[in-house]
A = this chain, B = another copy of it.
Amino acid sequence: MDSRTLLLKTALNLFAQRGYDSVGVQEIVATAELTKPSLYHHFGSKHGLLDALLTEGSAPLNEALRTASAYDGNLDVALERVLDAYLCFAENAPDFYRFWLSLLFCPPGHEAYRLAVSLFTAQSALLERMFQSAAQDHGNMKGRHVRYAYVFISVINSVVAANTGGEIRIEADQRREILHQFSHGIYS
């Protein structure tokens, strides 16, 4: 395997287990059976490695969200597509999702803060646009699209985090319940 890709995979695996700060560059290259200059040749710094990891790792999810969040007159269907995009991604890239979750509420002074925020706002912007479009058909939603996007993402993340042991699998009936709860609350 390409040594750059190997470093990315190794680092992601270690970061997902113990966190970005707890894993040293030395351990990454040792696990990948390489040496430090290789890593610094490809990424320049540990931060550069993190940057590449997040940017390239989140690209598939963003791409999937872009199409899934296209509002076509039926919000329920769009929400289902978005939820599927998230859960499908979480199934296929559990390490990335776990690592991403660990950075979600990053302290503002942490070196990963800007990266984590930019990832989150990219996702959030797509969902906000979806809710904003839907608000043209559902008047009561007007002006609430930002919170809707926040809450929807948070609900998904909490569900994924709850299934953090072993594989990430959320079955169809549970998905339906999640969507129903978000759309219609807990009473109905």
Task: Return the contact of A154 from the options B16, B111, B144, B158 (Cβ within 8 A).
Answer: B158
Q: List 25 A-B contacts (CB under 8 A).
A: A16-B107, A17-B108, A17-B109, A19-B21, A19-B109, A22-B110, A22-B111, A98-B108, A102-B106, A102-B110, A140-B188, A144-B186, A147-B159, A147-B178, A150-B158, A150-B162, A151-B159, A151-B181, A153-B158, A154-B154, A154-B155, A155-B155, A181-B185, A183-B186, A184-B188
A63 at the interface (CB under 8 A from B): no
Copies in the assembly, this chain:
2
> In the complex the two chains form, is B108's CB within 8 Å of A164's CB?
yes
Q: Closest 5 interchain pairs by CB?
A: A21-B21, A154-B158, A101-B105, A185-B185, A184-B185
Task: Return the contact of A19 from the options B107, B162, B186 (Cβ within 8 A).
Answer: B107
A126 vs B30: C-alpha distance when bound (angstroms): 45
CB distance from A75 to the nearest CB of B (A): 8
Interface size class of A (residues with CB under 8 A): 35 or more
> In the complex the two chains form, is A22's CB within 8 Å of B21's CB?
yes
Cβ contacts under 8 Å, A181 to chain B: 147-148, 151, 185
A159 vs B178: C-alpha distance when bound (angstroms): 19
A15 at the interface (CB under 8 A from B): yes
Task: Return the contact of A187 from the options B150, B184, B186 (Cβ within 8 A).
Answer: B184
A19 vs B177: C-alpha distance when bound (angstroms): 35
Contacts A138-B187, A185-B181, A186-B182 hold; do A107 and B151 have CB atoms under 8 A apart? no
A126 vs B142: C-alpha distance when bound (angstroms): 34
Kindly report which residue of chain B lies nearest to residue A117, judged by CB atoms: B164
A154 vs B156: C-alpha distance when bound (angstroms): 10
Cβ contacts under 8 Å, A182 to chain B: 185-186
